[in-house]
Structure 1
Amino acid sequence: MIRIVKMTFRPETVTEFLTIFEQSKEKIRQQPGCHSLKLVNDKENSNVFFTISEWEHQDFLEQYRRSELFNTVWAATKALFADKPEAWSVDVLYDL
């Protein structure tokens, strides 16, 4: 299962977000059931980022979302938003 989260930050908070991500990425990646974690940046809008994470199963993602780690990271991150985040959970149909 893939989780994609789109986040739009106030331009002046991008550096702060990148610091938060840098400090928490390995802890997130080490959560049970997390196979990968990527941060990508929109080519047109430098203040728009996406996290793309792969989870063994939806239950592992939900376990992470109920964790203290998630609560801490998300609270710090959402304070920096310029717009409401968007999220999608998708299944891989083909991996070519």
Structure 2
Amino acid sequence: MFVRIVKMSFEPEHIDTFLNNFHQKKDLIRQFEGCQFLELYRDKDLTNVFFTYSYWNSESDLEAYRHSDLFQDVWSKTKPLFNAKPEAWSVDKLVSLH
């Protein structure tokens, strides 16, 4: 399991635009080949900061998504809304307790 965590910080006036776009595209992202899981989180204190967590079968599946028309569409609408450079981490899940 390959996990991707992305931290995004938005101008406060652009939060609704981001959320609307995410909600329009979330099912397409989740259904993209190799994507097993997708969640969106919002910081409790810094309400303009969001995190996405996505689980991928492999790094190559994530890379295929990142080079897809879907990603280009999502990113082209998201990138102009940032107020700071996004940060991303690719991690391996070691332990998961349910």
Q: Which TM-score band applies after superposition, normalised by the shorter structure? A: over 0.9
Query: How much has 1:68 moved relative to structure 2?
Result: 0.3
Q: Deviations over 1:37-92 (max 9, x none)?
A: 00000011000000000001000000000000000100100010000000000001
> Kindly, what percent of the aligned residue pairs are identical?
54
Q: Deviations over 1:12-52 (max 9, x none)?
A: 00000000000000000000010010000001100000000
Query: How much has 1:9 moved relative to structure 2?
Result: 0.1
Distance 1:18 1:76 in 2: 11
Query: How much has 1:95 moved relative to structure 2?
Result: 1.4
Question: What is residue 94 of structure 1 aligned with on the other side?
Answer: 95
Distance 2:76 2:52 in 1: 16
Distance 2:6 2:39 in 1: 11
- Matching of residues 56-75 of structure 1 within 5 Å: 56-75=57-76
Distance 1:81 1:16 in 2: 11
**Matched residue SS, 1:19:** helix
Q: TM-score, normalised by structure 1?
A: 0.98
4+ runs deviating over 2 angstroms: none
Q: TM-score, normalised by structure 2?
A: 0.97
